[in-house]
Amino acid sequence: MTRIYLGLGSNIDREASLRAGLDALQALLGDLKLSPVYDAPAMGFSGDAFLNMVVGADTALSLSQLATRLREIETRHGRAANAVRFSPRRLDIDILTYGRLAGLIDGVELPRGEILEHAFVLRPLAELAPEVRHPVTGQTYREIWGAFDQSSQPLRRVSLTWRGEVL
């Protein structure tokens, strides 16, 4: 089994979309570890704010199989096959890490560069997996978050209830 971390985001029907994404991920991966949920402005385009979170899980799927299944989940939840990167979306699921892999593997860049660039990815990852080390820098996510210019990208923690649990 390989430990993976996934970034989830939505800026269309945000709460329902994240819940649906979590349901689909649980059906695919089983036991999920969940970060808190954050409200963050859209990055790279003008649009409604996103809700973002990070999910940890173990998988026996290969990286290629995982990427394919995640795209299928996004498509089932309204993502157009020709959706551009910086656009509104009902459900966005990104592979942040797949074990300790690094580089362009099966068309997936690992670890995802946004871990080091965007608070909406790094903060929930640092809260979910504070002692896990970034596959390239070797620093823990807690250390990376501690050195991040947190005032540059404001986040607001929000509550989301999923399956009776407040995240």
What per-residue confidence (pLDDT) applies to 89? 84
**Angle, CA of 157, 4 and 122, to the nearest 5°:** 35
The pair of three-digit structure tokens given for residue 157, joined into one six-digit string: 């923690």
Distance CA 40, CA 24 (A): 23
What per-residue confidence (pLDDT) applies to 85? 65
Nearest one of 10, 20, 38 to 158, comparing CA atoms: 38
What residues pair up with 32 in beta bridges, in sequence order?
none
Per-residue pLDDT tens digits of the chain, which is 167 residues long: 999 999 999 999 999 999 999 999 999 999 999 999 999 998 877 788 999 999 999 999 999 999 999 999 999 987 766 666 666 789 999 999 999 999 999 999 999 999 999 999 999 999 999 999 999 999 999 999 999 999 999 899 999 999 999 98
Nearest one of 111, 131, 127 to 52, comparing CA atoms: 127
What per-residue confidence (pLDDT) applies to 103? 96
The pair of three-digit structure tokens given for residue 148, joined into one six-digit string: 């991040």
Range of the domain at 55: 2-166
Domains held by the chain: number: 1
What per-residue confidence (pLDDT) applies to 114? 95
What's 29's domain CATH number? 3.30.70.560
